[in-house]
Structure 1
Amino acid sequence: MTTRMRGEIAEQPAAIRATLEALLPRTGEVEAVARDTRHVLFVARGTSDNAAVYGRYLIEARAGRLAALGAPSIATTYRRRIDLDGVLAVGLSQSGRTEEIVETLQWARDCGAKTIAVTNGGESSPLAQTADLALCTLAGEEKAVPATKTYTTQLAALAVLAIGLGADVDPGDLRRVPDAVEKLISDPGDLEAVVGGLAGKPGVVVSGRGMVFSTALELALKLKEACYLHAMGLSYADLLHGPIAVVDEDTPAILVAAGEGPTLAGTISLAERVTGAGASAFGVGGGAGLAGASTAALNGPDLPEWLAPMGLIVPGQLLTEALARRLGIDPDSPRGLKKVTQTD
């Protein structure tokens, strides 16, 4: 059985490549809109909110600007006005039609913020029309309900945003991302072993830290949406503060890491602690060190840490699709979900 989700996973190298070709020449426009701003406020929900977590870490760690995730309910439910002078508000919506996000971005603009939209909905979408600048991704239509290519192209757009904000990175490294993603699609690692290790389990903890925390959150969301698992996405710093008590024979851990960077050693140590306690630890990325400390492992991309999340989610997407089929679930149309979610 070939699912739409699996087909759209395979379209990601081309979608990322097209998005980067369209957006990389526009870093000067980002710089111009962001002039006279100091802070970045992300406005998003769901998968887009997980993408925003990546944007927050990237901008704080590499562009030296304070960034935060906004609470749309402050605008839409509490109707509070906040002084946003000096703030760059970035609204993320794959469809560009989520009313709550459109309304919140307009609220931010009315409160004095400069505004940027990141959307796959095109320049004519309500979100793009609301913003001072729209960074439109080129993922094409996504028919499966679980987001795959719209998520990774959002990450690509956020990398371009960070470059426009002066991030201390090599923009040329972005050109390596499509090929790295393509390699992971053809060789995701020990996929069958991880699927087998999760089949029949009621829940799982998914953990990563720093730049890859976004991947842990997104993979946990996908496992909830498409496999109906009780999946908990946590920073490993938070996991060690108490919730690690839930990791046992019936609740394995999926641990995510880039192949380099300051959080890798801690992730390997966590894998050793989990397996030492008799539970299963499934690695995603982290090179030979994490693979060696894990029960089974999925491959990661040959990319620097700041770009690793664009690749790390791909074996997680393949895992989600394969596990859903193993469980007899159609990953294209999970129960209770729609492609565009409107929040009261």
Structure 2
Amino acid sequence: MTTSRMRAEIDEQPDALARTIEALLPRASDVGLLARDTRQVLFIARGSSDNAAVYGRYLVESHTGRLATLAAPSIATAYRSRVDLSGVLAVAISQSGKTEEIVETLAWAADCGARTVAVTNGAASPLAEAAEVALITEAGDELAVPATKTYTTQLAALAVLALGLGARVDRADLRRAPDEVRRLIAETEAHEALPAIVAELAAVQGVVVSGRGIAFGTALELALKIKEACYLHAMGLSYADLLHGPIAVVDERTPALLVAADSGPTLPGTIALARRVRGAGARAYGIGGGDGLAGACSRALPGPDLPEWVAPLGLIVPGQLVVEALARDLGVDPDVPRGLNKVTQTD
């Protein structure tokens, strides 16, 4: 069977991450200088970039002591409201840097008093040119519509952003990420649970994907990939929100896919959720979470051997491999999902 472009780009992630981290770590001081008179962070993004922003938000709030929020671009582009953004660092994220709504919203933020940063794979893009500091990822050309290497390199850029904002973490953990992703790709591909999970997901119409805290963005991104590349209903939820009602949709016909770092304060809750899902007669699939989550799930794939703050750079990778294999099993070309383009424009 011919290898999909998506699968090839999954394999390119270790090198793309290594290039991005090497290029951007020296820029952490530029972020720190720009942000010295700011007190909070506003993330501006859509789609997979918005899921990366969720990671950025949790990372900034948990490790730098700054308030971080997600922007509603329509406030700028549709309502054209004037908001006082003095003391705000606006961070716009776009793989292409060409989405007009995101470029316009960053310009609006600057006009409202914010300092501005761009995270993009487009070095000469309008978004990069609009920002005071541009963190250019080194993913190379990405041809498959579902974002893989552009997403993980965005996460690396946001880790550098957090370092620039004074995150109390060891940057050596970030440097280990490319090799860990390389190991994880090989281990997942050879893991006996991969074809079993794919076969079982191919027989259902929907799945709930859940994580919490720093892993929440991974759950949202994996749910998005399942929807756009496999055409299955996928609900991405924090497990705290899942327990407030939507848990009722999890049953023998709707499994749960749970993601967690191998350590951190949200791991015990993820393990407890896996046990509850199985207790309700549903299947629970785990990604990451160490032996604890694997033991509580019906089937599980390993996650990265990285601390929680940087684990999402690897945690999404087994999910990407599941999605690519599932799409092909369902007869869908994962490279060109119907109705989607590489650059999406919104009003």
Please indicate, yes or no, whether the TM-score normalized by the shorter chain is above 0.5: yes
Name the structure 2 match of 1:250.
253
Match of 2:216 among 195, 213, 217: 213
Name the structure 1 match of 2:135.
135
State the 1:50 CA deviation: 0.1
Q: Which amino acid aligns with 1:19?
A: T
Q: Is 1:173–2:176 an aligned residue pair?
A: no
* Aligned residue pair count: 343
Name the structure 1 match of 2:110.
109
Name the structure 1 match of 2:76.
75
> What root-mean-square deviation, in Å, do the aligned CA atoms of Structure 1 and Structure 2 show?
0.5
Secondary structure, aligned partner of 1:250:
coil
Which ranges of 4 or more aligned residues in structure 1 deviate by more than 3 Å? none
State the 1:223 CA deviation: 0.1
State the 1:35 CA deviation: 1.3
Segment of structure 1 superposing worse, 186-195 or 20-29: 186-195
**Structure 2: distance between partners of 1:211 and 1:193:** 28
Q: Is 1:318–2:325 an aligned residue pair?
A: no
**Structure 1: distance between partners of 2:165 and 2:49:** 20
Name the structure 1 match of 2:346.
343
Q: Which amino acid aligns with 2:51?
A: N
**Structure 1: distance between partners of 2:44 and 2:253:** 36
Name the structure 2 match of 1:199.
202
1:109-143 deviations in Å (ceiling 9; x for gaps)? 00000000000011x21001000000000000000
Q: Is 1:147–2:147 an aligned residue pair?
A: yes
**Structure 1: distance between partners of 2:308 and 2:212:** 11
**Structure 2: distance between partners of 1:302 and 1:185:** 13
Name the structure 2 match of 1:232.
235
**Structure 2: distance between partners of 1:200 and 1:162:** 41
1:1-344 to structure 2, matched below 5 A, reads 1-122=2-123, 124-188=124-188, 189=191, 190-344=193-347
Secondary structure, aligned partner of 1:67:
strand
Segment of structure 1 superposing worse, 309-318 or 192-201: 192-201
Segment of structure 1 superposing worse, 226-235 or 186-195: 186-195
1:52-93 deviations in Å (ceiling 9; x for gaps)? 000000000001100000000000000001000000000000
State the 1:277 CA deviation: 1.1
- Structure 1 unaligned runs (5+)? none
**Structure 2: distance between partners of 1:317 and 1:172:** 25
**Structure 2: distance between partners of 1:125 and 1:155:** 19
Q: Which amino acid aligns with 1:294?
A: C
Q: Which amino acid aligns with 2:141?
A: E
**Structure 2: distance between partners of 1:305 and 1:283:** 16
State the 1:184 CA deviation: 1.0
Secondary structure, aligned partner of 1:338:
coil
**Structure 2: distance between partners of 1:174 and 1:267:** 24
**Structure 2: distance between partners of 1:241 and 1:151:** 30
State the 1:104 CA deviation: 0.2
State the 1:234 CA deviation: 0.1
TM-score by length of 1: 0.99
Secondary structure, aligned partner of 2:184:
helix
1:190-232 deviations in Å (ceiling 9; x for gaps)? 2111101201211000000000000000000000000001000
**Structure 2: distance between partners of 1:147 and 1:233:** 17
**Structure 2: distance between partners of 1:12 and 1:343:** 28
**Structure 2: distance between partners of 1:37 and 1:336:** 40
Secondary structure, aligned partner of 1:82:
coil
Secondary structure, aligned partner of 2:117:
strand
Secondary structure, aligned partner of 1:187:
helix
Secondary structure, aligned partner of 2:43:
strand
Secondary structure, aligned partner of 1:64:
coil
Secondary structure, aligned partner of 2:28:
helix
Secondary structure, aligned partner of 1:74:
helix
**Structure 2: distance between partners of 1:232 and 1:142:** 26
State the 1:276 CA deviation: 1.2
1:169-192 deviations in Å (ceiling 9; x for gaps)? 001111110011001110114211
**Structure 2: distance between partners of 1:231 and 1:98:** 25
State the 1:41 CA deviation: 0.1
